[in-house]
Amino acid sequence: MTNWKEYRIEDFAEVIGGGTPSTKNPDFFGGSIPWLTPKDLTNYVNKFIESGERNITEEGLKNSSARIIPKNAILLTSRAPIGYLAIAANNITTNQGFKSIVVNPNIADYNFVFYLIKANIERIKGYGTGTTFAEVSATVVKNLKFNLPDLPTQTVIAEILTSLDDKI
């Protein structure tokens, strides 16, 4: 069996928060850039997601802390609620209710990391803090520790899990 090594998420991925353009400016919404909120993942059962209920414009992107999240990034809701999960099927943006994980493909397989996080959602929820509603910070997500096998083994495991998901 392959050797597994302990990593923090920040060792194999970039963690990116989201943002919301001012809703007072109608020029920021209705564009062509997919923009997700945790609501878009409520009762969402697919692994990949292309878009949500709303889109933002280039101007909305420029005038907010939202960032383009690349295809294959893992979208993890970090508040209201913690723990909804999907993979970006294309470039996308999110509001501040997400901590998106952009995996370095030279170290980790994004599909493997998706299943790893999915299997550890309850543990991740346990790190939530806050009085109005629980939230997991970027620092917490970056410092989450996981054991990973070598990249080829990750890919094989992810392919098996994906195959099982497809059958379900």
Give the model confidence (pLDDT) of 64-80 as tens digits: 999 999 999 999 999 98
The single-letter DSSP state of residue 71 is: T
Give the C-alpha separation, 52 to 70, whole Å: 15
- What DSSP line would sit under 87-129, residue for residue? EESSSBEE-TTEEEEEE-TTT--HHHHHHHHHHTHHHHHTT-B
Q: What number is the average pLDDT over the span 141-156? A: 97
3-state helix, strand, coil in the chain (%, to 5): 30, 30, 40
List, in order, residues 6 or more apart from 24 with CB less than 8 Å away: none
| pLDDT confidence bin for 1, thresholds 50/70/90 | low
Mean pLDDT across 13-32: 97
Per-residue pLDDT tens digits for 102-112:
999 999 999 99
